[in-house]
Amino acid sequence: PEQNWGFPPYNWGEMHRDGCLWWKRRLRHMDQYFHAYRIDHVLGFFRMWEIPQRGGGGKYNPSSGLREAGLKNLRAIQTASSMLICGEDLGNVPDEVPPVLLELGICGLRIQRWCDGQTWKYPYLCVGASSCHDCSPCRLWWNEEWGGAEGWYNYFVGKGQCPGGPPDWISQKIVKMHCEGTSLLTINPIQDYVDMWQKLRSPDPKQDMINRPGHTDGCWTWRCHLRIDDLLKEDNFNGFIHKMMGETKRGVVY
């Protein structure tokens, strides 16, 4: 079904009249505090789905020249700061998008279950993630999409019968694969980290969802069942993560 979020579309022609000053002022301010930022739906810098105010009859704007539009719009904001840009490029993305992101040095995003999952073959200019806010954490995915979980197990483990649960060693393997992967960054949700330790898991993985796209009830209300102060006291858990990060060279300053 057609999504109508009620947002006015960007008037790129008007914004470029002053060199996209609206964007640049905000990015220069953000540059004081952050090293990187994420553009949600980076496809919107190439084209937008526009719906008349009366509703219905949506169309893409522009309908052609996507490469030129993406280069012009992204270059305008890229030069405003020294922050690394990650463009969320999931879903049905036109062929013009990946080459433009690569040309501009903008990272894409890889969610393991939505691609071939071979983290050791991810492009360097991307952010690898075990899951994200718009999908189920890995433990819930394992329980809700058994076919996908079984396929993952057969391909990446391949020994014996696919276990239910999954056991904590499966969660550990998923996170470690991302840390060992070839992506510039790996950013995994805290739910997937906590699930690596059996005694720290939440009672019900269904309560670990952040957002269910297309639904409104129960979205964006998630709170971690553990306090950070309590997690800091879990020496074995923290030692395990510290060792993993050290062995995979994640978090190392060169």
0.75 exceeded by the pTM? yes
Report pLDDT for 253. 67
pLDDT, tens digit, 9 for 90 and up, residues 221-232: 999 999 999 999
Specify the long-range contacts of residues 135-138, CB closer than 8 Å, at least 24 apart: 135/111, 136/205, 136/208, 136/209, 137/189, 137/191, 137/192, 137/195, 137/205, 137/208, 137/209, 138/166, 138/171, 138/174, 138/191, 138/192, 138/195
pLDDT, tens digit, 9 for 90 and up, residues 130-179: 999 999 999 999 999 999 999 999 999 988 899 999 999 999 999 999 99
Q: What is the spatial distance between Cα 70 and Cα 170, in angstroms, rounded to a whole number? A: 39
Please, which pLDDT band fits residue 110 given cuts at 50, 70 and 90? very high
Query: Could you tell me which residues come within 8 angstroms of residue 244 by beta carbon, excluding any fewer than 6 positions away?
Result: 175, 176, 179, 250
Give Cα separations from 151 to 117, 146, 157 (angstroms): 11, 8, 10
Burial class (CB in 10 A: 0-12, 13-18, 19+), 115: middle
87 bridge partner residues: 39
* Cis-peptide into 99, omega within 30 deg: no
Contact between 111 and 189 (Cβ < 8 Å): no
Share of residues in the chain with pLDDT > 70 (%)? 98
Burial class (CB in 10 A: 0-12, 13-18, 19+), 151: middle
Question: Mean pLDDT over residues 171-190, rounded?
Answer: 97
Question: Mean pLDDT over residues 107-115, rounded?
Answer: 96
